[in-house]
Every structure is written in C-alpha cells, then in structure tokens.
Structure 1
Amino acid sequence: MQIDSAFTTGLQGYQRAEQRVDDASTAIARATLTPSEPQAAPGEITEELIHLKLGELQAGASAKVIQTASDMLGSLIDIRV
C-alpha cells in the first residue's frame, strides 16, 4: 500500500462528503424556504437529513483514513532516522 494513495483516497472521500453535505443542506433550505412553491413533503426533508448524516459519517471516516496515513508516514520516518 502506498501512503500517497491512502492520503489521496482520504482526501477524495472527504471532498465527496463535503459535496454531499452541501447538496443535502441546499435541498433542505430550498424545500423549507421557497415561498412560491408548496412546502416539501416530510419524506423529502427526511431523506435529505439522512444524506446530511451520511455526509457527516463519510467525512469522519475519511478523516480517520487521512490520520492513519499520517501516522504511518510518521512511523516510517521515525524508523528510518
């Protein structure tokens, strides 16, 4: 396993999570604040809240991948010095 690929994978996962959270929060805001259209069905908002939570969990998991890759790199540097 290459450390660079672990960092890259973690970063890409974090960016996808960030996009998911952004999309879900935009959809929630649009569904609840659009005065010209009827209010969104509760199921639609619930689905977006689920996407919001999934984004949070995905970001946490990706942060752990980045932290683990950083720890591995630190261990390798300590061993070689």
Structure 2
Amino acid sequence: MRIDSAFNAGVQGFQRAENMADSASNQIAQLGTSNGSKVQVTDELVNLKVAEIQSGAAAKVIQTAGDMMGTLIDIRV
C-alpha cells in the first residue's frame, strides 16, 4: 500500500466523520422546531459517538502514514 493512499484514506475517513457529526448535531438542533418531532435523540447521540470514534481512527491512520513517511526518510542506503 502506498503511503499517500493511506494518508488519503485517513483524510477521507476524517471527512466522513465530520459530515456524520454535522448531520447528527443539526438533527438535534431541530428538536425545538416543528420538524423536531421526527428526530430520535438517542439515534443522533449514538451517531455523534460513532463520528467521534471514526474520527479518532482516521487520525490514527493519518499519524501512522506520517510515521511511515518519517521512517522511510530516515532510512540510509
């Protein structure tokens, strides 16, 4: 696997987590409106937690790709 593709996968995972958190928070914010009756608070809170875990995993992928790049740069032939 190429390092740049691992880094890109991490960035894409982080963006998906950000979108999920944004969507869930928007749903929770609608609780006080007329559309709020359709919102399942527990589902949206679970989605926020999933987004948190997903962003943490994506950050680890990005960190690992960076560490791999640093290791490759440090190798002397």
The reply to whether TM is greater than 0.5 is yes
Which amino acid in structure 1 is aligned with residue 32 of structure 2?
L
RMSD after superposition: 1.8
Instruction: Give the percent of matched residue pairs that are identical in Structure 1 and Structure 2.
Output: 57
Which amino acid in structure 2 is aligned with residue 22 of structure 1?
D
Distance (Å, rounded) in 2 between the aligned partners of 1:12 and 1:38: 31
Distance (Å, rounded) in 2 between the aligned partners of 1:64 and 1:56: 13
Distance (Å, rounded) in 2 between the aligned partners of 1:38 and 1:23: 14
Which amino acid in structure 2 is aligned with residue 77 of structure 1?
I
Give 1:80 deviation, angstroms. 3.6
User: Where do 5+ consecutive residues of structure 2 fail to align?
Assistant: none
In structure 1, what is the equivalent of residue 55 of structure 2?
Answer: 59
Give 1:40 deviation, angstroms. 3.1
Which amino acid in structure 1 is aligned with residue 56 of structure 2?
G
Aligned length: 77
In structure 1, what is the equivalent of residue 72 of structure 2?
Answer: 76
Distance (Å, rounded) in 1 between the aligned partners of 2:63 and 2:44: 28
CA deviations over 1:7-27 (Å, ceiling 9, x no partner): 000000000000000000000
CA deviations over 1:26-58 (Å, ceiling 9, x no partner): 00111x221xx28537x8100000000000000
Distance (Å, rounded) in 1 between the aligned partners of 2:35 and 2:16: 31
- After superposition, residues 32-47 of structure 1 pair within 5 angstroms as 32-34=31-33, 37=34, 40=37, 44-47=40-43
User: Where do 5+ consecutive residues of structure 1 fail to align?
Assistant: none
In structure 2, what is the equivalent of residue 3 of structure 1?
Answer: 3
